[in-house]
Amino acid sequence: MGPTRWAPATGALIGLQHPLHERPELMIQTPYYLIDKSKLLLNMEKIARLRELSGAKALLALKCFATWGVFDFMRDYMDGTTSSSLNEVRLGHERFGKETHAYSVAYADYEIDEVVSHADKIIFNSIGQLQRFDRQSSGIVRGLRLNPGVSSSSFDLADPARPFSRLGEWDVKKVEPVMDMISGFMIHNNCENGDFDLFDRMLGAIEEKFAPLLRKAEWVSLGGGIHFTGENYPLEQFAERLKRFAGEYGVQVYLEPGEASITRSTTLEVTVLDTLFNGKNLAIVDSSIEAHMLDLLIYRESAKLTPNKGPHRWMICGKSCLAGDIFGEFDFENEIKVGDRISIQDAAGYTMVKKNWFNGVKMPAIAIRELDGSIRTVRDFTYADYEQSLS
């Protein structure tokens, strides 16, 4: 390939404009995730502002983002972590510190003691689990998950209030007899909810259903899935609602931002390996949506490129053997050529925690752009990692 230059308008590396030392990311072998601290900071500052205005505490949801190379940076803006498994609660305790909440849909006998050893609070999904592990968990703060029967999810797959849901207790009369065993609740029923009015209505429904329990609680986690760091979200109005809820029931409110913590902070950097035409212009890159951005495949969503404008329309395809390994169709200012670099946007949430070795495709490295613009690779994956992930 001849001389190259970076074209920020298209996200493709297509000729020479700046020396490579001025764009250190071009020296890193693709594919890799690039976490930009300056963009991450924008979310952190909104979280800090919300904490200040509302009195709520913010816990990073490790199920969404667990790249501990930036925990030292995030720690200054958040109160701790919340988890969904033994591995996550241990990671939160050891790598993030501060307040550590443990939750799991179900704990196994062999793991409960270790979970408790890493947690400040443990939240049980059911009364059955709470009673089963009463003795082991009696030394730390305990809570119970409640399911209000309403959610903001438009996907049945991700809807905690779907029919026959296993996620939390529904019946106030069943919970009241165990209130002496717990001091708080976790209620997670938002999913990518950027609509404050919808959040407000659902919180009102929670109050109507669970008010007798809330008045006996000391703390309530309202979970994650609230897109309060999004553009034009009414942060002050949201803060006022949280503060009013806390005052009404005399509780410490917790939020568990996952996507809200890291939205728009990270790209997946890829290189074009081949181009074809089969009724549409096709570009094959050195990555895979199934292996590296699995949530997009699960929910049948397209990846994001910016600004996605121009006269040349291309389908960006992954390199795995899956026929539907497609990142999406996008518009570019220039024709795509082998060797071009493309930045896939918003690639932090539910990506690095779900990446896999399908087809043995090279696992993306993880790099961090510091506030001064310098870039460091914090993790690279080799054949040994692939081999050792199997038997």
**Residues comprising the binding site for substrate?**
259, 295
Distance CA 320, CA 336 (A): 20
Nearest CA-CA partner of 349 in 258, 268, 221: 258
Residues whose CB is less than 8 angstroms from the CB of residue 3 and which lie 6 or more positions away in sequence, other chains included: 15, 16
Query: Kind of pairing, strands 12-13 and 184-186?
Result: unpaired
> Residue 300 corresponds to which amino acid?
R
Query: β-strand 141-145 against 184-186: which pairing, if any?
Result: parallel
Binding residue positions = 259, 295
Q: HSE on the CB side for 333, CA within 13 Å?
A: 13
219 close to 249: Cβ distance less than 8 angstroms: no
**What is the rounded CA–CA span in Å between residue 4 and residue 16?**
4
Rg for the chain (alpha carbons), in Å?
Answer: 23
Length of the chain: 391
Going by C-beta distance under 8 Å and a sequence separation of 6 or more, which residues neighbour residue 227?
Answer: 192, 193, 194, 233, 259, 260, 263
* Token pair for 27: 């020296």
Contact 160, 188 (CB under 8 A): yes
Please, are residues 285 and 12 in contact by the beta-carbon 8 Å criterion? no
Residue 26 CB-density burial (10 A; 0-12 exposed, 13-18 middle, 19+ buried): middle
Tell me, what amino acid is at 21?
A: H
Write the Ramachandran bin of 300: left for phi over 0, alpha for psi from -120 to 50, otherwise beta: left
Cis peptide before 257 (omega within 30 of 0): no
Is the N-terminal amide bond of 212 cis, ω within 30° of 0? Answer: no
How many whole angstroms separate alpha carbon 196 and alpha carbon 198? 5
